[in-house]
Amino acid sequence: MAKIKPRVKVPKKAEAGEVITIKALISHPMESGRRKDKKTGKLIPRKIINRFTCDFVGASQSGNVIDVQLEPAISTNPYFQFEAKVPESGEFRFKWVEDGGAVYELAKKIAVG
Amino acid sequence: MKLTRIGAGFAAAIIGLAGMASAGEPEIKKLVIDGVEMTVAAPAPPYLENLDMIYSGWLFRSPETQALELDDFDNPGMVFVEQAQDMFSTPEGTAGKACSDCHQLEDFKGLRTVLPRVEDDGKLWTMEDYINKCRTDRMGAKAWKYGGTELTSMVALIGLQSRGMPINVKIDGPAKPYWEKGKEIFYTRVGQLDMACANCHEDNYGKMIRADRLSQGQINGFPTYRLKNGKLNSVHARFKGCMKNIRAQPYKVGGDEFKALELYIASRGNGLSVETPSVRN
Amino acid sequence: MLQLTRREALGAGAGAFAITAFGLPAMAAAVEDAIKKFTGGAMPAEGGVDLTAPEIAENGNTVPIEVAADGAVAIAVFADGNPAPEVCTFNFGPLAGSSAAATRIRLAKTQNVIAVAKFADGSFKMAKAVVKVTIGGCGG
């Protein structure tokens, strides 16, 4: 895997109160900690995305949409699809947390009306 | 409620399995990506003596795997395409140039359909060759490893510009000797299992080889994202994997044999749409 | 290595023991422990949770699944044949559009995938699906 890069798919517009579908994917090897290095025979240390969150932030209303705890049984390039309510114009903020504490973030604006 | 198309595929999966046992011909379904319909089944070109129809490997996969190619966001291969897009506009090498300094991506529309082809130097050129030539001669950068992630991702990005267009490689004129050589490799039994490409991908496509369903071995969707290894796979890397499986000593990735084989197998798919980057198991 | 013919085992009255010890893989106990950890002790009843997974996965490395349970505040996914049974836990926030999510998971072999939903009143429900994981044609 060349690079860790998050991407999300969120509609640009919605009606107030509408339920929209969101897709999120991050390119990540999800090293399970159970694989051996073919050359050295040693275990490759675990390094996975262990948490993914999506929050909505608007002028008057904000809140969590989904908060996922991931284990090594999630496939390479973790993918999630879920639904969110859109109370007003604002933005969806996405966060992926990697073992060791590295954080990858992305935000997508959505307009109501 | 159903978020995805996973459920919708179930009925088809069961029907598909029932049909699988007897016939080699796959169930024909429509493949529409981003509003563009792909040609996944076409009459075989006249030089294929043993086939009536040619089929995209997509038709041989399970409904769940098929679904991954229907939407570019769901297609994990697009992650690599996006990374290639970043590389495309990043200057590299002693000339301080990026691909985007000389090229626009749209300029490559159609290129994937005619490669590999013979250049003025009389040699057979693959997409990988063109990219690396640009890197070494114009950018003053190091050639990427043939079959490596960077090069394969860039091949996918450029290939994507031709998605939906029919494969149309030349097999006559200066290409003829390369094509003949590729054909010979396709039909020559090798390795401990003493098998040729044709034994599986021409004589037995559509049948199960243990738990896997054999395709025609078409390469119109390459580079392809494989669920098996979670990355984009180049044509030559796939050839190498196949040869290892039949316990043969693989030819060199990026070498003359595989380039000739690539031309021959590409020609077996003349008429199928470029599906780059496809998703397979 | 345990050398025990069926007759000897039965004769020794060890039949029940043998079935308990060897008939049930250790994984089943591990997944039960993991589920009980999520529910706080009890094994939930089946029903009230939708779990969509392919009957046969073409490759165990990437198996698409979907879970949904109306009114659930969280859904945890388990796989009883993996080295560790936990797969993921979806916690649905106040702005979730539904208590449903889809993802792609790794399955080491043919096994049960289990989804356990937690509801606002503290109750739990579960659903189970067998996914057959196939082996690549050429062993490669």
What would the pLDDT profile of B42-58 be if each residue is shown by its tens digit? 999 999 999 999 999 99
Task: List CB contacts of C72: < 8 A, sequence separation 6 or more.
Answer: C49, C92, C99, C117, C118, C119
Instruction: Say whether B67 and C100 touch across the interface (CB within 8 A).
Output: no
The C-alpha R_g of chain B, in whole angstroms, comes to 19
**Nearest to residue A23, comparing CAs of B24, B167, B4?**
B4
Please give the positions of B annotated as active site: 242
**Residue for token pair 């932030």:** A57
Residue C18 has pLDDT above 90, yes or no: no
**Separation CA C35–CA C115 (nearest Å):** 9
pLDDT value at position B230? 86
Shortest Cα distance from A23 to chain C (angstroms)?
Answer: 9
- Binned at pLDDT 50, 70 and 90, residue A31 comes out as very high
DSSP secondary-structure letter at B199? H
The C-alpha R_g of chain A, in whole angstroms, comes to 17
pLDDT value at position B4? 67
pLDDT value at position B31? 96
pLDDT value at position B92? 95
226-245 in chain B: CB under 8 A from chain A: 230-231
DSSP secondary-structure letter at C108? S
- Binned at pLDDT 50, 70 and 90, residue C137 comes out as low
Q: Average the pLDDT over A38-54 and give the result.
A: 93
Of chain B, the percentage scoring pLDDT greater than 90 comes to: 86
> Ranked by mean pLDDT, which of B48-52, B127-131, C54-58 comes out on top?
B127-131
Task: Considering only the C-alpha atoms of chain C, give the largest distance between any 2 of them, rounded to a whole number of Å.
Answer: 63
pLDDT value at position B210? 80
Residue A26 CB-half CA count within 13 A = 24
C62-77 pLDDT, tens per residue? Answer: 999 999 999 999 999 9
Instruction: Say whether B3 and A82 touch across the interface (CB within 8 A).
Output: yes
Cα→Cα distances B93→B140, B238, C106, Å:
5, 30, 40
Shortest Cα distance from A76 to chain C (angstroms)?
Answer: 8
Q: Average the pLDDT over B263-278 and give the result.
A: 98
**Separation CA B221–CA B31 (nearest Å):** 12
Q: Is B27 helix (H, G, I), strand (E, B) or coil?
A: coil
Q: Which chains touch A (3 or more CB pairs under 8 A)?
A: B, C
Q: What are phi and psi of C108, to 5 degrees?
A: -70, -25
pLDDT value at position B54? 97
**Separation CA C104–CA B116 (nearest Å):** 35
Here the tokens at position B264 are: 């021959």
Q: Which amino acid is at C90?
A: F
**Nearest to residue B93, comparing CAs of B130, B132, B145?**
B132
B163-173 pLDDT, tens per residue? Answer: 999 999 999 99
Of chain A, the percentage scoring pLDDT greater than 90 comes to: 84
A72: left (phi over 0), alpha (psi -120 to 50) or beta: alpha
Q: What's the sign of the alpha-carbon dihedral B261, B263, B269, B273?
A: positive
Of chain B, the percentage scoring pLDDT greater than 70 comes to: 92
Which residues on chain B are in Cβ contact (under 8 Å) with A9?
73
pLDDT value at position B164? 97
- Binned at pLDDT 50, 70 and 90, residue B15 comes out as very low
By mean pLDDT, which of A1-10, B71-80, B204-213, B239-248 is the weakest?
A1-10
Q: What is the pTM of this model?
A: 0.85
Q: Which residue of B has its CA nearest to A20?
A: B3
B54-101 pLDDT, tens per residue? Answer: 999 999 999 999 999 999 999 999 999 999 999 999 999 999 999 999
The continuous run of DSSP H or E covering B184 comes out as helix B176-187
Which residues on chain A are in Cβ contact (under 8 Å) with C100?
82-83
Q: What's the sign of the alpha-carbon dihedral A98, A103, A109, A110?
A: positive
**Nearest to residue C38, comparing CAs of C68, C66, C81, C76?**
C76
- Binned at pLDDT 50, 70 and 90, residue A37 comes out as confident
Here the tokens at position B8 are: 């919708």
